[in-house]
Structure 1
Amino acid sequence: MIQIHVLEGAALVWSAEDAREIRERFRLVGTLVGALARKPRQNARLGLPLQLLPEEARLLAELGAAILVKGTESQPPAEGEELTQVSEVQVYQQGLEESYQEQQRLAGAARAALLVQLADRIAEGQARRRRQRRETLDAVEDSRLPDSPFVLPRDSMMVQLPTARCRPGRVERVDWTSPSPDWPHAGCPAHEARHRVFRELWGRGYYLSGGNKFGGDFLVYPGDPLRFHAHYIALCCPQGAPLPLPALVAAARLGTSVKKTLLLCSPGTDGTVAFTSLQWSGL
């Protein structure tokens, strides 16, 4: 069962396996919002956690594929648990030491192989420097120091940084059907309309992502967003709600300028959703 951790309305997935299953099995994209450990001061390439739209998290919960949870407040370790935590730290430190020794052995072997490969060039360079200094071979050999063993700096070793706990902490289930500080979307009219539109388009085989950067509610893709551009900008318009003409014209022109069709989505009272596509066409 996929665990979706919620905090003040944000739905986060910390497990890489769960994030992969969500994309491959359920065609849900989400957004990576975590900084990379090696490059924390950039936002061009991000990593876990995966933040899901409220509609994506609710869809997974309705399908029975995920549960919404939240972390409980910190509690003192139970009897015997503290010893378990100490042993886990020791095992982790031992694993780091074994990894360092293995990396040092591999780096030393790679360095030795490189020196053997470049032996002729190194000898030519040494001979050239001797000729420039007018030194004799005997004098150079006498001053030569024995090679020191290779030592890999510890700050240069590669360290695996897990993004999910080996043993999950204490969590409690969140009811997504009723509003709460952790999940305020339940019962909200805007969320209900967006979810009906999202589920209808998702059920037709489309991929969806957030559409805020194009002035809509969703971007609709014919396939995986890694391979396709969005074809539609979905804008949820509840039936009977006023839609100002300037806002409609602006949305249609924006969609045309980015080569996308504006899709007006109106959920009805009978459970259906009406779609109206608009494109700006010059005279």
Structure 2
Amino acid sequence: MIRIHILEGKAFVWNCADVRRIREEHRIVGTLVGALARKPRQNVRLGLPLQLLPEEARLLVEKGLGTLFKNAASPPLEDDTGQDPSTLKEVAAYQKELEESYWEQLKLATEQRKIILHTLAERIAQGRAKKRQQKEEMGASPSKPADLESNVVFPRESMMVQLATERKHPGQEEVVNWHVPSPDWPYTGQQDHEIRYSVFTSLWEQGYYVTSGSKFGGDFLVYPGDPMRFHAHYVAICISKDEPFSLSDIISASRLGTNVKKTVLLCSVDQDGTAVFTSLQWSGIQ
């Protein structure tokens, strides 16, 4: 069962195996929104967690593939004297692990320095001989050469620390009931969400990959295959069947699709809940 974590109405998947399974087996793409541990100051390539659209999360839950969870309210912080002994024990174990990691990295840094010095031994010897000769010519007494292998400086601030992408002990969690609107899941019963979900489900069941279409001015982008290998064929715009759609809006939507080389789909839901699609393509004046 895929664990979907809910935070302020947003759905996240933290487990790497679940993220891969969602994409490969269930054609759910989502959006990676987390910073990479090695490159935290960039936003070109992102990592876990995977944020799901409300429609993606609901589809997984309705198909029996996932469950919505939220963290229970945390108890108020206390001083060290009032903490659970098991918590203090875990903190001590973590500090011990950090200390062992530091000395192991120091050992590896020392060995790496020895290898580099061995490679540059001839050049170092030539440089020392040149400096010794210059001092003798100036009449200064030669100084004792320093032991380069012993001068390894490895501050604790430079050590590598493993950043966990999933909590080892999740703690208390509560299952979110998506059938009832709440601050955690406010979408139930909203007309816009119900229309979007019906359209999303219909396209997904036809074998398409469906992602957010906000960057192209629509609700969804529809791909014939994995977005890593294919360009989107359609821009889906969801509207209510009873909502007026002016001619200027139709022209704007069709010209937008032409500019991005995609077909615009006007999507609505019939009285019986069936999704209805109308395609638009700008032909211009012939």
- TM-score over 0.5 (shorter chain): yes
What corresponds to 1:10 in structure 2?
Answer: 10
Instruction: State whether residues 196 and 267 of structure 1, in contact with CA within 8 Å, keep that contact through their aligned partners in structure 2.
Output: yes
Query: TM-score w.r.t. structure 2 length?
Result: 0.88
CA distance in 2, matches of 1:128, 1:222: 69
CA distance in 1, matches of 2:134, 2:230: 62
Instruction: State whether residues 220 and 230 of structure 1, in contact with CA within 8 Å, keep that contact through their aligned partners in structure 2.
Output: yes
Q: SS at the partner of 2:237? A: strand
* Worse-superposed segment, 182-191 or 31-40: 31-40
Unaligned runs of at least 5 residues, structure 2: none
What corresponds to 2:69 in structure 1?
Answer: 69
**Is structure 2 residue 109 aligned with structure 1 residue 110?**
no
Q: SS at the partner of 1:190? A: helix
> Alpha-carbon deviations, 1:65-88, whole Å to 9, x = none?
1111222212369xx981111111
Instruction: State whether residues 3 and 13 of structure 1, in contact with CA within 8 Å, keep that contact through their aligned partners in structure 2.
Output: yes
Amino acid at match of 1:99: S
**Is structure 2 residue 121 aligned with structure 1 residue 119?**
yes
**Is structure 2 residue 67 aligned with structure 1 residue 60?**
no
Q: CA deviation at 1:163?
A: 2.0
CA distance in 1, matches of 2:70, 2:27: 24
Amino acid at match of 2:256: L
> Alpha-carbon deviations, 1:224-250, whole Å to 9, x = none?
222322221111133333212222211
CA distance in 2, matches of 1:235, 1:214: 10
Amino acid at match of 1:95: E
Unaligned runs of at least 5 residues, structure 1: none
Q: CA deviation at 1:5?
A: 1.9
Q: CA deviation at 1:169?
A: 1.8
CA distance in 1, matches of 2:12, 2:211: 15
Instruction: State whether residues 266 and 279 of structure 2, in contact with CA within 8 Å, keep that contact through their aligned partners in structure 1.
Output: yes
CA distance in 1, matches of 2:137, 2:20: 65
**Alignment of structure 1 residues 186-225 onto 2, 5 Å:** 186-225=188-227
Q: CA deviation at 1:49?
A: 2.3
Amino acid at match of 2:176: V
RMSD value, Cα:
2.4
CA distance in 2, matches of 1:65, 1:264: 29
CA distance in 1, matches of 2:281, 2:136: 82
Instruction: State whether residues 206 and 221 of structure 1, in contact with CA within 8 Å, keep that contact through their aligned partners in structure 2.
Output: yes
Q: Percent identity?
A: 58
Instruction: State whether residues 220 and 231 of structure 1, in contact with CA within 8 Å, keep that contact through their aligned partners in structure 2.
Output: yes
What corresponds to 1:82 in structure 2?
Answer: 84
What corresponds to 1:172 in structure 2?
Answer: 174
What corresponds to 1:146 in structure 2?
Answer: 147
Q: SS at the partner of 1:143? A: coil
Q: CA deviation at 1:135?
A: 4.8
Q: How many residues align?
A: 279
Amino acid at match of 2:23: R
Q: SS at the partner of 2:169? A: coil
Q: Structure 1 residues 98, 215: closer, same or farther in 2, change over 3 A?
A: same
Q: CA deviation at 1:186?
A: 0.6
> Alpha-carbon deviations, 1:16-48, whole Å to 9, x = none?
333232222222111122334454444333332
* Worse-superposed segment, 169-178 or 16-25: 16-25
**Alignment of structure 1 residues 127-146 onto 2, 5 Å:** 127-131=129-133, 135=137, 140=142, 142-146=143-147
**Is structure 2 residue 255 aligned with structure 1 residue 253?**
yes
1:226 to 221, 228, 232: 228
What corresponds to 1:19 in structure 2?
Answer: 19
What corresponds to 2:239 in structure 1?
Answer: 237
Q: Structure 1 residues 186, 63: closer, same or farther in 2, change over 3 A?
A: same
CA distance in 2, matches of 1:229, 1:134: 73
CA distance in 2, matches of 1:129, 1:253: 75
* Worse-superposed segment, 200-209 or 159-168: 200-209
* Worse-superposed segment, 123-132 or 228-237: 123-132
Instruction: State whether residues 223 and 234 of structure 2, in contact with CA within 8 Å, keep that contact through their aligned partners in structure 1.
Output: yes
Instruction: State whether residues 8 and 184 of structure 1, in contact with CA within 8 Å, keep that contact through their aligned partners in structure 2.
Output: no
Q: SS at the partner of 1:230? A: coil
CA distance in 1, matches of 2:165, 2:284: 51
CA distance in 1, matches of 2:126, 2:263: 67
CA distance in 2, matches of 1:277, 1:122: 73
* Worse-superposed segment, 88-97 or 118-127: 118-127
Amino acid at match of 1:187: G
Amino acid at match of 2:99: E
Q: Structure 1 residues 178, 144: closer, same or farther in 2, change over 3 A?
A: same
Q: CA deviation at 1:263?
A: 1.5
